[in-house]
């Protein structure tokens, strides 16, 4: 059956992305258009000047890859399912707040919600749901599929949207590498997609694409270290979180009661509010002049033990250590910040470990058996670690004192946390 398309959109990664009439209608809704005003990598533009791309182009790319993946899987379902999986990918980031992941800890701390929760909420309660249902799709079902939590359907559909090698990761690794120019994130997404198959309704990758899967993992890890976990990028993100928390004392940033009120929250709105608020204005002015917090101490943790690498993600533990370092350095408590980039603000932790869940099809004597990728890839098995980066930030003028104090307080980290892969 020949598909009918409304038109196409030019994309720097995939050329032209064709869109259907329904997709055009959904794209033109306020919730999706709002994604034009939310940067994909808030903070990274202070390191990579061209990293000003938004969530909008990312969801378009994810939609394209979802359709391509569906077309290459051995499924015999109706064209409506192809459309539904593309809509789920298009809507998967709908709930992101200002500054993307920077806003996540604010949501979690103050209202106990994640951006995925808000994604499902917006699909059900905003005009997006009305458009979807007018075309015969369930907004309830799509609200769950868009976050990979649809339970009453075939599990591979959730994996396509929120799995170890999903359309979200395949797009953002490639797109973020392209816009930053960092060069570490090249992934042959087409080979991965063309070699995917189904076993027991679960996604598997053919062993002929093993080297591509390994390259994907390596590209992802390198991108984390050079883009997402870059010292200066994280400094900006830390400062933005501090500004948002400071502003909470004067303005209730989370007073939204309905989708229309939440849709007002974008990067432009937040930046303007933070500049107007007396308690956050100074922090924003420092960001604008690129007077950023400086890293005084850093250690990269590679360990097989998740507990060891996650000790410092406990807010109370970090607070006590920050107190000790500040006391040792004879500085005000607010001049010392411990950052562990595996907190909800940057949910990219355990990148290697989750790939171990990908089954690989290996041919033996004319038959294909399903094997764990760790069994047949020494590279991925070696990289099966929990990676966290622990840093201590302070003002530039206090850098030497904080480094010395941090080395005294943190210099006796267990040796197993310092191993290199």
Q: Give how far Cα 277 sits from Cα of 60, 104, 184, 240, Å.
A: 35, 21, 39, 13
Site of tokens 């055009």: 24
Give the C-alpha separation, 163 to 192, whole Å.
14
Q: What is the pLDDT of residues 300-352, one digit of tens each?
A: 776 665 555 556 667 888 889 999 999 999 999 999 999 987 533 333 444 44
Q: What is the pLDDT of residues 193-239, one digit of tens each?
A: 999 999 989 999 999 999 999 888 888 888 888 898 899 999 999 99
Question: 1-292: which CATH number, 3.20.20.150, 3.40.50.970, 1.10.3210.10, 2.40.128.90?
Answer: 1.10.3210.10
Q: What is the pLDDT of residues 344-397, one digit of tens each?
A: 333 344 444 455 567 898 988 778 888 888 788 877 777 666 667 889 999 999
Q: Return residue ranges of the chain for CATH 1.10.3210.10.
A: 1-292
Helix %, strand %, coil % for the chain, to 5?
55, 15, 30
Of 289, 321, 225, 142, the C-alpha closest to 281 is 289
Q: Which helix (H) or strand (E) holds 393?
A: strand 386-394
């Amino acid at each position: 059956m020949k598909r009918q398309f409304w038109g196409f959109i030019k994309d720097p990664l995939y050329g032209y992305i064709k869109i259907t009439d329904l997709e055009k209608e959904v794209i033109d809704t306020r919730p999706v258009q709002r994604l034009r005003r939310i940067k994909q990598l808030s903070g990274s533009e202070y390191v990579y000047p061209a990293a000003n791309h938004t969530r909008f182009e990312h969801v378009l790319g994810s939609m394209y890859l979802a359709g391509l993946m569906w077309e290459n899987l051995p499924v015999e379902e109706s064209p409506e399912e192809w459309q539904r999986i593309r809509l789920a990918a298009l809507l998967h980031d709908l709930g992101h707040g200002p500054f993307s992941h920077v806003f996540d800890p604010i949501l979690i701390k103050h209202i106990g919600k994640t951006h995925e929760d808000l994604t499902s909420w917006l699909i059900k309660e905003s005009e997006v749901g009305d458009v979807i249902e007018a075309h015969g799709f369930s907004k309830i079902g799509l609200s769950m599929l868009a976050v990979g939590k649809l339970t009453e359907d075939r599990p591979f559909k959730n994996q396509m949207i929120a799995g170890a090698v999903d359309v979200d990761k395949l797009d953002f690794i490639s797109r973020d590498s392209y816009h930053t120019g960092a060069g570490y994130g090249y992934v042959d997404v087409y080979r991965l997609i063309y070699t995917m198959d189904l076993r027991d309704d679960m996604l598997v990758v053919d062993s002929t694409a093993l080297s591509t899967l390994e390259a994907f993992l390596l590209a992802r890890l390198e991108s984390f270290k050079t883009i997402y976990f870059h010292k200066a990028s994280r400094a900006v993100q830390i400062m933005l979180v501090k500004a948002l928390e400071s502003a909470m004392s004067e303005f209730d940033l989370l007073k939204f009661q309905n989708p229309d009120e939440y849709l007002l929250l974008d990067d432009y709105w937040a930046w303007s509010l933070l500049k107007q608020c007396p308690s956050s204005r100074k922090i924003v002015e420092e960001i604008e002049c690129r007077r950023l917090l400086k890293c005084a101490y850093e250690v990269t943790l590679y360990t097989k033990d998740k507990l060891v690498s996650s000790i410092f993600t406990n807010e109370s533990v970090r607070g006590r250590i920050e107190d000790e370092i500040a006391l040792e350095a004879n500085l005000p408590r607010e001049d010392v910040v411990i950052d562990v980039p595996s907190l909800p603000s940057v949910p990219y932790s355990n990148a290697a470990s989750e790939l171990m869940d990908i089954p690989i099809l290996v041919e033996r004597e004319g038959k294909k058996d399903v094997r764990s990728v760790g069994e047949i890839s020494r590279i991925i098995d070696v990289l099966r670690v929990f990676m966290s980066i622990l840093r201590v930030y302070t003002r530039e003028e206090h850098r030497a004192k904080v480094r010395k104090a941090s080395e005294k307080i943190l210099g006796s980290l267990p040796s197993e946390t310092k191993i290199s892969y």
